[in-house]
């Protein structure tokens, strides 16, 4: 039980930041391209309370973590409302709005990595903070890769819809009502593993390249 409480404490801030900035980035991008729906509903905010879904963000992940001893974890935040018809160029800008969320997670993974490097450089040996930095990297890479999976309503699905010709984009978008169940089935069957691992590995490699000057500086 102590291990579970410690793990929850380590992951609490990284998870809250990951979902809050992910959703706020969608809202900001939507407003930038012409849709103020999320802004008018107060979702272009860094206040976690605006984005946390009590059931999907708190109850489900904790129950799954306890029930599976950490082997399976899933959760979600309140989706940011976007009226794509309000965008100045809906077909093209839909992709940018969708990519804003994963981009925010990649930036956060970068910042948590910087924190980890600085903690090591300053010889901080408090394991809690080092574990939190690692949790921040892992959490954001997971959210980044998961949301880029090309099935609507995930961000990757929106990107695919944006690039498909109108005829096929319409047909592909009709998957959306069933998208959640498709993704859950793929998660349970561990098929999503074959997407998550290479995408996370690619993102991690890019992070290491971007961080290499800082790593060399403090090595």
Kindly report, residue by residue over 37-87, the tens digit of the pLDDT.
999 998 888 888 888 887 777 776 666 666 656 555 666 788 889 998 999
What range does the domain containing 48 cover?
2-217
pTM: 0.91
The catalytic position among 23, 83, 126, 176 is 23
Could you tell me if 53 and 80 are in contact, meaning their C-beta atoms sit under 8 angstroms apart? no
Cis bond leading into 153, ω under 30°?
A: yes
Q: How many domains does the chain have?
A: 1
Backbone angles phi, psi at 18, to 5 degrees: -60, -45
- Does 138 have pLDDT greater than 70? yes
Q: Is the dihedral of CA 178, 60, 143, 31 positive or negative?
A: positive
Q: Specify the DSSP element, H or E, that contains 115.
A: helix 90-121
Mean pLDDT of 143-156: 93
**Least trusted range by pLDDT, from 76-90, 99-113, 155-169:** 76-90
Q: Is 23 a catalytic residue?
A: yes
- Reported as a single tens digit per residue, the pLDDT across 188-212 is 888 888 999 999 999 999 999 999 9
**Least trusted range by pLDDT, from 6-10, 12-16, 133-137:** 6-10
Q: How many residues does the chain have?
A: 219
């Amino acid at each position: 039980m102590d291990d579970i409480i410690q793990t929850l404490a380590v992951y609490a801030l990284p998870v809250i930041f990951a979902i809050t900035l992910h959703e706020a980035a969608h809202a900001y991008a939507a407003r930038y391209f012409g849709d103020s729906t999320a802004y008018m509903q107060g979702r272009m905010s860094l206040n976690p309370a605006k984005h946390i879904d009590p059931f999907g963000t708190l109850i489900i992940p904790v129950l799954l973590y306890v029930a599976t001893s950490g082997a399976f974890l899933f959760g979600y935040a309140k989706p940011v409302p976007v009226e794509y018809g309000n965008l100045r160029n809906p077909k093209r800008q839909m992709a940018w709005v969708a990519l804003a969320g994963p981009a925010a997670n990649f930036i956060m993974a970068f910042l948590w990595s910087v924190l980890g490097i600085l903690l090591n450089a300053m010889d901080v040996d408090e394991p809690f903070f080092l574990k939190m930095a690692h949790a921040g990297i892992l959490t954001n890479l997971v959210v980044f890769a998961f949301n880029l999976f090309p099935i609507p309503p995930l961000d990757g699905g929106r990107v695919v819809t944006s690039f498909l010709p109108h005829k096929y984009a319409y047909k592909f978008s009709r998957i959306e009502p069933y998208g959640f169940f498709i993704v859950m089935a793929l998660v349970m069957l561990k098929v999503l593993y074959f997407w998550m691992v290479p995408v996370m590995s690619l993102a991690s490699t890019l992070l290491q390249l971007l961080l290499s000057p800082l790593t060399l500086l403090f090595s």
